[in-house]
Amino acid sequence: MDKKHIKSARATKIKERRESLDFWFYLTQVLALLSWILFILALVVSFYAAPEKDYGVLRYYDIEIRQFWLTPLTGYLYLIIWSSAAASYASMLVEKYRSRRLNDNTHYHLYFVLITNIIWLSVILNHTLNTN
């Protein structure tokens, strides 16, 4: 056997990573998708938990307006936002240790979700503490 055949025989025994996707790739994708789904769910829950807007028409007809955050929904909202932030951060960590090249995709959408969730948590916490 010559060197060419030995190299080809040795190469067939080693699994080529570039040919198939592995568990870590799927984990980062699932975590990123979960983070976005939880973010959208938090938007919906926030709509129902937040105080109502004080429109002039409502004041004119003496319709009662809720001026406070709904406490049960606010608790769920905190959990959803924290879960979304944790999922995006975990996806960024896995991607950081998984990528090997400097020109790999940096996934800016995960940074956006994480920063938005942190700011959102601080704003909601500020509003709930100031109203109570």
Tens-place pLDDT, residues 31-67: 999 999 999 999 999 999 988 888 888 888 888 888 8
Which pLDDT score is estimated for 109?
A: 92
Mean pLDDT for the stretch of residues 76-102? 90
Higher pLDDT, 11 or 89: 89
Query: Average pLDDT, whole number, for the chain?
Result: 85
Residue 21's φ and ψ, nearest 5 degrees, are: -90, 145
What is the reported pTM?
0.77
- How crowded is the C-beta side of 55, counted as CA atoms within 13 Å? 5
Answer with the residue of higher pLDDT: 96 or 6.
96
| Structure letter (DSSP) for residue 20 | S
Q: How many other CB atoms sit within 10 Å of the CB of residue 99?
A: 14
List the domain boundaries for the chain: 28-131
Task: Please list, residue by residue across 52-81, b when 16 or more beta carbons sit within 10 angstroms of its beta carbon and e when fewer do.
Answer: eeeeeeeeeeeeeeeeebeeeebeebbebb
